[in-house]
Amino acid sequence: MKPYVIVLGNEKGGTGKSTIAMHVAVYLLNRGFKVGTIDVDARQGTFSQYFEHRQRSPLQLKMPEHIALLKSSSINAEQAKSDDINAFNEAMQKLSNCDFIVIDTPGNDTYLSQVAHSYADTLVTPLNDSFIDLDVLVKVSNDGMKIIRPSIYAEMVWNQRKERAKRGAKPIDWIVVRNRLTTLYTKNRRDINVVLEALSKRIGFRLGTGFCERVIFKELFLSGLTLLDLEQTGVQLNLSHVAARQELRELINFMKLPNL
């Protein structure tokens, strides 16, 4: 059986894609699965750097088989596309014995990212609670309450769904998660939820909740740790850590991954 592919995608940076990708990968490793990871945003390389920090840890931390992909440097557009798809297919072949493959994508549109999206069994799109971030999914009226049309990223996902269908693969389970939430309930937060609920029915995604905005996620990066590693380090968990770990469990459960 082929690996189950989880893609973290959004054509907007700073939404927490790499943080969620890292935590999902480590969660699966801790459950005993063989996990592969691919960074198709290797130029920025946040996902890859996270694993580099993790590899240097004095702790014996579980590691996936990781591959970082740079987009083709060819100036010929068709050659560049050919290079990218060959590189991606080669990476997928190397990880073909894994149970899961977790893929982190860039916050912009690249052909390599498009190819990765077309292979997603589950696509997770983190979204900050902001109409600026919402703009990549949907164009709304000036008052923010009327959907005019799906936007650039939603259109790209639709196109990759069609590419996936051509290969006879099952439909993508697309999940949009509201991420980096504040604890305050505001009019902006309510309005965004109304728009996303309506849009989910229109373009076909499930709406979930990711992580609240917490300092702990910024602190963990340099050590290559996740919330799931804290007890191994001897750190005494506080209420924020426990709440964040529960958010991760709830997200994993919402994803409905096979064999979990």
What's the pLDDT tens digit per position in 90-133? 999 999 999 999 999 999 999 999 999 999 999 999 998 888 88
Q: Count Cβ atoms below 10 Å from residue 73 Cβ, excluding itself.
A: 7
204 by Cβ neighbours in 10 Å (0-12 / 13-18 / 19+) ranks as: middle
In a domain, 153, yes or no: yes
> What's the whole-number mean pLDDT along residues 68-81?
94
Residue 31 pLDDT > 60, yes or no? yes
pLDDT tens readout for residues 169-215: 899 999 999 988 776 567 777 888 888 898 898 899 999 988 888 88
Separation of alpha carbons 184 and 124, rounded Å: 24
Q: Which helix (H) or strand (E) holds 201?
A: helix 187-203
CB count in 10 Å sphere of residue 82? 14
Q: What is the mean pLDDT of the chain?
A: 90
**What does the pLDDT look like over 137-172, one tens digit per residue?**
888 876 656 787 888 999 999 999 998 998 888 999
Distances (CA, A) of 203 to 11, 52, 108, 126, 143: 17, 37, 21, 16, 21
Count of C-beta atoms within a 10 Å radius of residue 74 = 13
Q: What kind and span of H or E run contains 160?
A: helix 152-166
Residue 190 domain-assigned (yes or no) = yes
The predicted structure's pLDDT at residue 129? 81
On the question of pLDDT at 55 being above 90, the answer is yes
Is residue 119 in a domain? yes
**pLDDT (0 to 100) of residue 145:** 65
Total structural domains within the chain: 1
Is 118 inside a domain boundary? Answer: yes
Decide if pLDDT at 234 tops 90.
Answer: no
Between these two residues, 235 and 74, which has the higher pLDDT value?
74
- Find tokens 């059986």 and name the residue: 1
Considering the domain boundaries, does residue 72 fall inside one? yes
Name the helix (H) or strand (E) containing 252: helix 239-255
Q: Is 260 part of any domain? A: no
Q: Which residue has the tokens 């949009």?
A: 176
Q: Give the H/E segment covering residue 94.
A: helix 77-94
Q: What is the DSSP letter of 57?
A: -
Q: Give the pLDDT of residue 183.
A: 63
Among 43-57, 91-105, 204-218, 239-253, the range with the most confident prediction by mean pLDDT is 91-105
Residue 179 pLDDT: 87
> 190: which 2 tokens?
């309510």
Residue with tokens 């014996």, as numbered in its chain: 60
Global confidence as pTM:
0.94
- Determine the structural domain holding residue 22 and report its residue range: 4-255
Query: Which is more confident, 220 or 68?
Result: 68
Coil, strand, or helix at residue 48? Answer: helix
Residue 35 lies in a domain: yes
User: What is the predicted pLDDT for the residue at 106?
Assistant: 94
CATH, residue 165: 3.40.50.300
